[in-house]
Each structure stands twice: as structure tokens, then as C-alpha cells.
Structure 1
Amino acid sequence: MSKALVTTTSTPDPDKVSLPVGLSVFALVIMALMFGAYKSYSWLQDEQRLPVQSIVLSGDIKMLNPEHLERLIRQQNTGSFFAIDVNEVHQLVEQQAWVYSASIRKRWPSSLYIHVVEQQAVARWNDDLLLNKYGDSFDGMGVSEGTKRDEAQQALNDLVKLFGPGGSEKTALTGYTNMRRLLRSSNESVAQLSLNERFAWTVRLKSGITLNIGRQEYIKRLQRFIDVYPLLQKEKKAINYIDLRYDTGLAVGWADAFPIVQAETDNNINN
């Protein structure tokens, strides 16, 4: 009796076939995306394709040189519009001596807008720094390429000179501000003000008179000078200095003469 030979054929599992193909396609897609992202990034970083065409500086600009500032930004921040780091530009701008604060923003497609608040110098401090209106010191004495030279030099020449120990900037500026207001009625003004280590005030007026005021009640003592000054002007003699460190009077030192003490002057000098 013969046996029939039975043969069977197996069909491949579709899941097993599609898995390698799917992984290959997925890998190709990822590689294509990565390549596209790289090319896009390179294109966006290319300064030649997307350059910063304009840097617009705004604000009340009196001391800064806009051309120098723009050149400095372009030299230290190369790259396209997208590549420029706004924070780095902000830090660079605020490092400039005459910049008090700045705000930076990009504007599509190719502009960088910079708004600057300049330092407002109101006094020279110890002959090597400047003071702004808040009593903060800054290094703006050097008339450099970053400033408008003529305007900067004229501004420095017109400033009052303040001297004092480190940390006394705000005290000196407050004293100067109060004295300047008080002296307006006498047609006198402060050319130089000094605070010594004991915080005693010495003031030189633009007329050349030196006022020794001391530490105490400087407003009251300066008012005493203002009250007596019209009488002293009648003497028709040049005044070298006036010592106001007395309880009720003052001492006058005439130019090329021995000092004399005014009437109603206490013999004890107070600080």
C-alpha cells in the first residue's frame, strides 16, 4: 500500500517582514530631518544670507558716539540676524562708560533696536571719576573714541569738582546740591567742595573765596556767610578766605593781609 507524499509551503509572517523595513524607513526619515535642520540652522547663521542691516540707536544721546557703538557691536557680534545674542549686546552696551542703562530688541527681518539712557554727569569726583545725579560714580573722564569729543570735553570743563574719602559720594553730592541752592541769592556758586576724613566741609567759590565750614550745621553757617557777605563786599578788598567755624560769627582773611575777626565772633572754633 503506497503512502501519499504531502508537502506544505509556509508563508512569511508579515509582521516580521515589516519591522525591519519600518525601522529602516524611520531611520532614513530621522536622518533627513536632522540634515534638514542642520542645513536650516547653517542658513540662518549665515551672515551673508540674513545680515543685520541696521542698528537703530534711540534716546537722548548727547555724549555717546553712535558710529563707534555700532562698529563695536558689529565687531563683537558677528553672525546673522538670528545668531546675535541680545543679552550679549545688552551687556556690551551697558559696559560703555556713558551708558546708564539700555534695552535691546530685534525687529524682523534685519534690524536691531537699542534704546539708551545716558549717564548725566553733575560733578567731577576726586579728579578721576564722575558722579551722576544719583551720587553714583562712573569712569567717564577719558574723552575717547566712544564719546563725542567736543561735547564731552566741554561737559567736563563745566562740572563742579567734589573731593572726599571713598564712600562719601552721596554725602558730598547732597551737600553740594543744598549749598548751591542756598548760594543763589548771593550770586555766588561753588567751584570746588571738599570733605576731609573727619567730614569737615571746605568750599571754594567761583569768585575765589574759600569757606571753611567745618562739620556741624553747614547750612546754618553758610547762611551766616550769605547774610554778612554784602557788608564784606563794601570793604573793597579782596577776600582770601572766610572761617565760619564759630558759634555766632566768622573770621575773614583778606588777600595779602593778616586775618581779622568780625564782631560778635566767639573765640572758640568749632568743627
Structure 2
Amino acid sequence: MKRRNAWFGLLLLVLLIGAGGRALWLWLDRPVERVSIRGEWEYVSAEYLRTQLAPLVRNATWLSVDLGELRDGALDIGWLYEARVSREWPNTLVFELIEQEPIARWNDDFLLNPEGKPFAFAPLEAPADLPDLAGPVGSSEEVLDYYQSLTPRFSRLSLTLQQLRLEPRGAWRLQINDDTWIMLGRRQHDIRLARLAASWQRELHRFTDAIRYIDLRYPNGVAVSWHGEETFDATVE
């Protein structure tokens, strides 16, 4: 009899603890009443972030909400590079947000971060004075790497590389100083760029504003088209 009473008492204690724990959980799992957004941002604003995060926390409760899902949802906001989400007593969710660092435009509707990963910038404006890069889907890292390798070569000629484009068939073309295009083609890039540098230093630098485009796709030499002239025919690769 005593053993049976002891088991009954233990069972009652477990039930009371369980009921108490559930009551405590329900008391703690109250609706989220405050969202704290922390970080240092240059391009996004706190108001923009609040607007984007609001749907993620709507109807959320403090204990039940999945912090991993909240983080994934935050990273779907195009301008965010990293996000950390935590709870803060008694009913606050804290978002620590790191924004993307844009270093180039990509295919008109995207920007690139330093890793060459595209992200959408709408509904915000893209920063001004970024180089304009373009290429097939999946080529952003390759194009950015090549742009970064070309930039010092043009800087040595006192030229600014503003656009770089990889065509679907693998040919490269680029723009310098706002309005001069250079047709680089698919092969022998280093040889062709060396030929361009020699031609520029020897003569072409005197006609910077008059050059429409420069075609390097010839076996020997450089072809130049001038503003105001008809486009010439050229044998290409």
C-alpha cells in the first residue's frame, strides 16, 4: 500500500510539474511586441528594413517562432548579406543585420558584392558611379574577376574602365571613358591588349574624344572607328 501511494504521489508530482511547465510555456510564449533592428548601414535605412521584416514577424510568438526561418526570410531581402536573430526578454526579437556591399552593376537589374554574387537592388536606387558589368547567367564571378584584372592595365594608360561585357559566345567587349568601346574578342586577350597599349601610347591618346570604338580582333594591327563616320566592315573571328 505504501509503495502504491508513493507511485501515485510521484505521478501526481510529474503531472503538476508538466502542467506547471505548460502554463509557464504559455505564459512566456506571448506575442512578439517589439522588433529591434541593429547594425550600421550605408545604403539601406531602418525604415526600409522594418517594412521588409514586418511580414516575417506578423502573428509570431516569442518562444514558438523559428529563429532559423526568420534568418532565412531576412536573407531573402536583397540588400542583406548576413542576419542574426535572437530573443530578448520579455517579448522582443532582435535582428542584427549586415548589408551587402555593392561594387558593380550586373545585367541592369542586379548589383554584385565583392564575392561576385548578384543581388537585386530594387526598390532602392543603385548607387551611382559603379562599373557596369554584364554576361550570361552564372558568369558574374568570372566577369568581375576579369574586370578587376583589367582595371590596373587601363589605369596605367590613364583610362577608366566603365563597362565590361561577356557575350553569350564568349567574346569580350568593354567601354572606356564613357563613350569608347573596345572589341576584344574571344582569344589572345593579352596579345591584343598589349597591342592596344602600344597603339594608345604611340598615337591614339591624342584622339580620345573622337574615337567611337577600337577593334582588336585583327591578326595584326588595330582598327579604329571615329564618331560621325559610317561603321566599317571588319573580318572577325
Closer/same/farther in 2, CA of residues 253 and 56 from structure 1, 3 Å limit: closer
Deviations 1:204-228 (A, max 9, x none): 2233111111112323322332332
The change in CA–CA distance for 1:114 and 1:76 in structure 2 (over 3 A counts) is closer
Give the equivalent residue in structure 2 for 1:171. Answer: 142
1:180, 1:236 → 2: CA distance? Answer: 18
Aligned counterpart, 1:239: 211
TM-aligned CA deviation for residue 26 of structure 1: 4.2
1:255 equivalent to 2:227? Answer: yes
- Aligned partner of 2:44: which letter? L
The 3-state SS of whatever aligns with 1:186 is coil
Q: Give the structure 1 partner of residue 116 of structure 2.
A: 135
- TM-score (structure 2 length as normaliser): 0.81
Give distance in 1, aligned partners of 2:111 and 2:149.
19
Shift of 1:23: 5.3
TM-score by length of 1: 0.72
1:190-246 CA deviation, whole Å, 9 max, x = no partner? 232222222111112233111111112323322332332251243587111111112
1:118, distance to aligned residue in structure 2 (A): 2.2
Question: Match for 2:158: what amino acid?
Answer: N
Compute the RMSD of aligned alpha carbons.
3.0
Is the counterpart of residue 202 in structure 1 residue 198 in structure 2? no
Query: The residue matched to 2:104 in structure 1 has which SS?
Result: strand
Q: Which amino acid aligns with 2:166?
A: L
1:63 aligns with 2:34: no
**Other-structure match for 2:131:** 160
Aligned counterpart, 2:160 = 189
Amino-acid identity (%)? 26
* Matched residue, 2:61: 79
Contact 2:35–2:95 (Cα < 8 Å) also in 1 = no
User: What is the CA deviation profile of residues 56-92 of structure 1, one whole-angstrom value per residue up to 9, with x for unaligned ones?
Assistant: 412x422233234345545533223x44432122112
In the alignment, structure 1 segments of 5+ residues that lack a partner are: 1-14, 144-148, 261-267
* Displacement of 1:167: 2.5
Alpha-carbon distance in structure 1 between the residues aligned to 2:200 and 2:191 = 14
Corresponding residue for residue 88 of structure 1: 69
Question: 1 CA distance for matches of 2:9 and 2:29?
Answer: 30
Which runs of 5 or more residues in structure 2 are unaligned? none
